[in-house]
Structures are given as structure tokens and as C-alpha cells.
Amino acid sequence: MKRRDSIKTMFLGSLGATLTLKSCITSEDKLMLDQVWQYNYGRTYEELKWDYKVLTGKFFSNTELKSIEKIANIILPPNDKGNIKDAGVVELFEIIAKDFSTPAHNEYGEKVLRRGLIVFDEICNIRFGLKLLDCNDIQIKSVFDDIAFSDNKDEDLQEAIRLFAVYRGMVLTGYFTSEIGINDLGYKGNTPNIWDGVPEEVLKEYSVSYDEDWISRCVDQSKRNDLAEWDEDGNLLT
């Protein structure tokens, strides 16, 4: 079975488990499965329906997406470790715009993410008579130099500064939650292992140590598989 088919089967299985009393899978359900097949992360039926909505709608125009891509590439330029394209950063903007659309999110896509593009375009238009997308990198950077730092107190730029901080946050978080970004960060973990304390050389580097009394009571990993038994006072015997 192809990976896609096997995941589809799993989704069908999960729907079966979730909808204990729903006798058949509707055609709408099938369509939903086709759209969300690439994600398999333990959703409930209601969550799958929401994902379907988020993954199938369209929020940004293609031009807007190109502007986001341009901005993202300047905020975090590609290097040999990774780039925003492989990290799916632009796609994340599109998804978050639709995902953060509940009343609690106060129209985040419209009022924050799209508003950012409008405000950045306005500044470029005032300065260069061009939309951001038509500016060259030097022109865009000259704008960013004014709006990328919170110590700029120019009142006319406060909204742009606030919105730029969101764009920077989105780009960075999108990058560092992607496979390529996590590799770049160097995070080690999210995998079965047997933790047995801070590596010796790290303890040395920070001039800290385990005190003997504390460590002597910690788990002896060579005995982790031995069935626990205690004496009547609660002393571990195994």
C-alpha cells in the first residue's frame, strides 16, 4: 500500500473509532480525508473538520504571498543550513491567517497579517512610489532599518514596527518549527532514549557537579527492567 493510502485507511479507522454510532462515511468525509491526508497527528473528528477548512480555503492572493515570501527572505536570508522555502514559512502564513480566525483571535489574518502587507506597501509607496514587491532589496532594507527595531520612537511608524515584529516572529517560528530549522538549531531529542544525567564535559564546563548523596538515590539505568520490589519500609530492593 502506498503511504498515502495507508494514512487514508488510518483516518477512516479513526473516524470509525470516533463516530461510534455513525454508520457510514459520507462523501464530504471522503473529500476531507483527501485534503488532510498529509497530516496524521491524532485529530478528533471535529479537529479534522477544522483542518479541512483551514487547508482548503484561500486567504492571501498570489501577489500577497509573493510579498510575504520576499519579506521572509530578507528577515531570514537563506544560507547553507536552510531557507524559508524549505521550512514552509509562506505556507504557514496562509494557514495561520485562516486558522486564527475565531472571534478569540480577533481576525488575526485580516487585522494583523494582511494589515502588515498594506502598511509595508504604504511606506514603500511614500518613499519610492512603488509597492514592496516592486522594490529592490536595498530599498526594502532601508524601510526595515526603520521599522525592525523597537527603539525607534517615530510615532508615524509605531504600527509598522508592531506589525514587523509579528512578521519577524512568524518567520522565525515557522523556520525553527520546520524539520530544516530544528536541524539548524541542533535540537536533540523527541526520540526514545535513556536519560542518565548531564554529560560529564558539560558539568565541567559549568563548574557544577552532582552531589553524591543525591545521585546515589537516582535511577540505576542498568536495573530499569528489574521488577520493582520494596521492603515494608518502602526501601527499594531491586
Near other proteins in 96-115, by CB under 8 A: 96, 99-100, 102, 105
Side-chain-facing half-sphere of 52: CA atoms under 13 Å = 16
**Looking up cell 524559508, which residue turns up?**
84
Residue 128 beta carbon to other proteins: minimum distance, rounded to whole angstroms: 18
Q: By CB under 8 A, is residue 44 in contact with other proteins?
A: yes
CA gap 132, 118 in Å, rounded: 9
> What phi-psi label fits residue 186: left (phi over 0), alpha (psi between -120 and 50 degrees) or beta?
left
Q: By CB under 8 A, is residue 117 in contact with other proteins?
A: no
Residues in 189-218 that interact with other proteins by CB under 8 A = 189-199, 201-203, 205-206, 208, 210, 214-215, 217-218
Binding mask 71-100 for other proteins (x = CB under 8 A): ---xxxx-x-x------x---x--xx--xx
- Interacting residues of 210 by C-beta distance below 8 A, sequence separation 6+: 197, 203
Residue 43 beta carbon to other proteins: minimum distance, rounded to whole angstroms: 8
φ, ψ dihedrals at 213, nearest 5°: -65, -45
Q: By CB under 8 A, is residue 222 in contact with other proteins?
A: no
Query: In this structure, are residues 99 and 108 in contact, taking their beta carbons and an 8 Å threshold?
Result: no
Q: By CB under 8 A, is residue 24 in contact with other proteins?
A: no
Q: Using the rule CB under 8 A, which residue among 118, 149, 154, 158 binds other proteins? A: 149
DSSP reduced 3-state for 129: coil
Residue 192 beta carbon to other proteins: minimum distance, rounded to whole angstroms: 4
